[in-house]
Structure 1
Amino acid sequence: MIDVRRLQVLRAVVTSGSVTAAAAHLGYTPSAVSQQVAALEKEAGIALLERVGRGVQPTAAGRLLTGHAAIISQHVAEAETALADLRAGRTGRLTIRYFASVGPTLLAPALARLRREHPGVTIDPKLTDPGDPLLDVAQGNADLAIVVRRPAEESHQGIRMVPLLDDAYRAVLPAGHPLSTQRVVDLADLAGEPWVGSEPPGPCLEPIIDGCAAAGFSPDFVAKSEDHATAQGFVAAGLGVSLIPGLGLAARHPGVAVRRVRRPEPIRKIHAAVREVSLGQPALRALIDALVDIAKE
């Protein structure tokens, strides 16, 4: 196998016209340059230089390898420039996993800010389920995932969980429901009501089930939807009551009343999941900062 560093020494000798001149340019001794060329000739299995007067000139094989050395040098320079751009956050690609209700309210404004600050970075957001994307992050298939974290969930090795938002669930009632006259609804007051499910099984449904259990009952689901807008439509039609997180109520149906819940107040904890090793990337760090700032707003 040909040593790339020795190729560059050969190129210096050919362009300089002598071993002595190449040694001066490279900061080596003439003996060291001669040894490098001799080793390269051994690797190539053919003579690369021939003496002409006090200098040297390349053989056909020497000219061939010198041409390739120039191409390699150019590619290395381009790679170094590209790497510097990537380190500085001027280029690159960020793959993001998110779930539906954080898309318009949290992720979209964060991505708009990222695009202003790092216009050369390609953004690849993909919709997924709240509990699924951690494996994508751990395996390097995603740079960042927005997830709902269970209260007792163990930390994943090598994954940093950045808290973004405690998203409280609200009682969603049909307009004119007797409880709509109250500013705050005790969760136990919904025990005898028919319920509309608003979440799929997993970390977003668990706060509802656990909250109802703490209030002494299990919700009687008469209709289910994994879409917050559809769930509001079912409630507005009088099918039942529901609990929907605050981020899922950005677009509110005119036929429902939304009230705070207490005793207890179910909450889903939203985090950004990233690999520890990736936190040095400027664009990824900027996205995390944007998500944290927008969540505070």
Structure 2
Amino acid sequence: MVEMTLVGLRVVLEVARAGSFSGAAERLGYSQSAVSRQVLVMEKVVGTALFERHARGVRATAAGEVLVRHAGRVIDGVAAAGQELAGLRDRLAGRLSVGGYPTASAVLLPRAIGRLLRVHPGLQIRVVEGSTPAQLQALRRGRLEVAILATGKGLPAYELDGLQLSELARGRGSGVAVAESHAFAAREFVRPDELVDEVWVVGARSGDAPEFGAWPGIEEPRVSFAVRDWPTRLGLVAAGLGIALVPGVAAESVPRGVRWVPVREEGSGFGRTAWAVTGADPGPAASAMVGALQAEAVEFGTRAP
């Protein structure tokens, strides 16, 4: 009894996509006669013609269209199964706990995790939210394998002895989130001195880290709202109730109705360096996570906001 095969389904799918037997043969690396034989076998299985010839090649019959539709699903399913099985054999399969400060966790960390899981689908990654001091403590106690932190002007001098730091590429610098109706929204950049008279939406924990406050150097900023959650803060910006400081690493997290505008610092202001931090002897999964963070950070520097 002749039965459908995965090879036959793939051949039928490629003939339909290419519009010819010769085109399918080229895509698959088969001879044209081998493609013709596979199509004949599949036609024998279904009991009717799958393709009809025309001046420029072939097109699927009604039966062919049905088979092509299901063939795509079957082949995708087999590919997914293969990826999942590969994950079971992946030497990095297991659990990994990672974390970072809020603005790094908005875009950079999720994308780096996605990059890592595409290569090592067997990993199970847990994202740990918390302040930088709490994450450093968790690193020392072995409850966290990788954290992202920032150093620079206005940040605490964290105790980093015994930890391994890997610098992440410097990206876009910092900027401000403004409503689309704001005068800055049409600008390519603004200068720090232009921010002095602006009304600010800040974080409720603005004393903990610069990204929660107004632009550094403004002695008495005019604050309209101080809120805890990042989405609320940007929502208030979208409503035109103030502007907010947003590091470039989180520029792509701004919602609809908000535009991120870089601030040209001219040698002062919000300069900082981001680091991926691990224990003194990171395992293979933690090292791979650091590599993914570094690769994603490089791309951040080349993408438009």
Task: Specify the TM-score bucket, using the shorter chain as the normaliser.
Answer: 0.5 to 0.7
Change (3 A) 1:97 1:206: closer
267, 271, 277: which is aligned to 2:275? 271
Residue in 2 aligned with 1:65?
none
Q: Return the letter of the residue paired with 1:229.
A: P
State the match for 1:162 in structure 2: 166
Q: How does 1:231-250 map to 2 (within 5 A)?
A: 231-250=233-252
| Paired position in structure 2 for 1:20 | none
Deviations 1:181-200 (A, max 9, x none): 43221222221222111473
- TM-score w.r.t. the length of structure 2 is 0.57
Structure 1 residue aligned with 2:257, among 247, 255, 258? 255
Is residue 2:205 matched to residue 1:200?
A: yes
Residue among 175, 195, 208 paired with 1:190: 195
Q: 2:144 is matched with which residue?
A: 142
Alignment counterpart, residue 96 of structure 2, candidates 94, 97, 107: 94
How far is the alpha carbon of 1:292 from its aligned partner? 0.5
Check conservation: 1:207, 1:267, Cα contact below 8 A: no
Matched residue, 2:290:
288
Q: Which amino acid aligns with 1:270?
A: A
Separation in 2, partners of 1:206, 1:113 = 26
Indicate conservation of the 8 Å contact 2:164/2:277, yes or no. Answer: yes
User: Which one-letter code corresponds to 2:140 in the other structure?
Assistant: A
Q: Is the 8 A contact 1:228 1:248 kept in 2?
A: no
The C-alpha deviation readout for 1:92-111, integer Å capped at 9, x for no partner, is: 43222234443452223322
Task: Give the drift of 1:133.
Answer: 0.5
Match of residue 67 from structure 1: none
Give the drift of 1:203.
Answer: 5.4
**1:189/1:284 CA distance change after superposition, 3 Å:** same
Q: Give the SS at the match of 2:281.
A: helix
Pairs aligned (count): 205
Report what 1:70 is aligned to: none
- Write the mapping of 1:37-186 to structure 2, written as runs, cut at 5 A: 89-103=91-105, 105-151=107-153, 153=157, 156-166=160-170, 168-186=173-191
CA positional deviation for 1:233: 1.9
CA, structure 1 residues 101+180, in 2 after alignment: closer, same or farther (shift >3 Å)?
A: closer
How many angstroms apart in 2 are the aligned matches of 1:271 and 1:128?
Answer: 16
In structure 2, how many angstroms separate the alpha carbons of the residues matched to 1:177 and 1:291?
33
Assess, with a 3 A threshold, how the Cα gap between structure 1 residues 204 and 169 changes in structure 2: closer, same or farther: farther
Residues 1:116 and 1:181: Cα distance change in structure 2 (over 3 Å): closer
| Structure 2 alignment gaps of length 5 or more | 1-89, 300-305
Asked whether the 8 Å contact 1:89–1:121 carries over to 2, the reply is no
1:142 positional shift: 1.1
Query: Structure 1 residue 291: deviation in Å?
Result: 0.9
Pair 1:233–1:112, CA change in 2 (3 A) = closer
Cα deviations by residue, 1:39-65 (Å, 9 ceiling, x for unpaired):
xxxxxxxxxxxxxxxxxxxxxxxxxxx
The answer for unaligned runs of 5 or more in structure 1 is 1-87
Rounded to whole Å, the distance in 1 between the matches of 2:151 and 2:194 is 28
**Partner Cα separation in structure 1 for residue 146 and residue 228 of structure 2:** 23
Identity %: 26
CA 1:150–1:226 in structure 2 vs 1: closer, same or farther (change >3 Å)? farther
* Shift in Å, 1:296: 0.5
* C-alpha distance in 2 between matches for 1:206 and 1:101: 8
Answer yes or no: is the 8 Å Cα contact 1:150–1:269 preserved in 2. Answer: yes
Q: 1:228 aligns with which of 208, 227, 230?
A: 230
Aligned-residue offset at 1:166: 3.9
Partner of 1:147, secondary structure, is strand
**Distance in 2 separating the partners of 1:108 and 1:257:** 21
